Amino acid sequence: MHVHMVSPEFSITPSLREYLEQRLHSSFAPLRGKIADIAVRLRDLNGPRGGRDMQCQVLVTMPGKPAVVIREVQENMYNAIDRAVKRAAYRVSRIASRRRPAGRELVQHSEPEI
């Protein structure tokens, strides 16, 4: 499981990075073998104007499964991380637990030999 963190609008502080890594580790630990990559993008949507504008986007890719993309906007980046990671982990666990529908086996009937 590879984790990529991107934050184009501001630098990720060591405490924020540690918090994010801890949340990802604890939330995705049971699913570790089923996840290929996790990409997290942190953004300040309104810049210095303030308001409810901190966005955390979590993208999780799994082999042979659809990608999971969760975006959460909150006033506080820590809250946005909490909600986005929790929602992403829930969605990934639901997708990972699905069984593939059993396909119908093709039965070939052959002509009896005379």
Mean pLDDT of 93-99: 84
Domain ranges of the chain: 2-97
Homologous superfamily of domain range 2-97: Ribosome hibernation promotion factor-like (3.30.160.100)
Mean pLDDT of 82-105: 81
Residues in the chain: 114
Residues 73 and 81: their CA atoms lie apart, in Å, by 9
**Where residue 108 falls among pLDDT bands split at 50, 70, 90?**
low
**Where residue 100 falls among pLDDT bands split at 50, 70, 90?**
low
pLDDT tens profile 33-75: 889 999 999 998 877 666 668 999 999 999 988 899 999 999 8
Q: Which residues of 27-47 are buried (b: 16+ CB within 10 A; e: fewer)?
A: bbeebeebbeebbbbbbbeee
Q: Would you state the pLDDT for residue 58?
A: 96
75 vs 2 pLDDT, higher one:
75
Residues 32 and 1: their CA atoms lie apart, in Å, by 6
Q: How far from 71 is each of 11, 22, 34, 58, 81, CA to CA, in Å?
A: 19, 19, 21, 7, 9
Q: Would you state the pLDDT for residue 17?
A: 92
**Where residue 110 falls among pLDDT bands split at 50, 70, 90?**
low
Q: State the pTM of this model.
A: 0.79
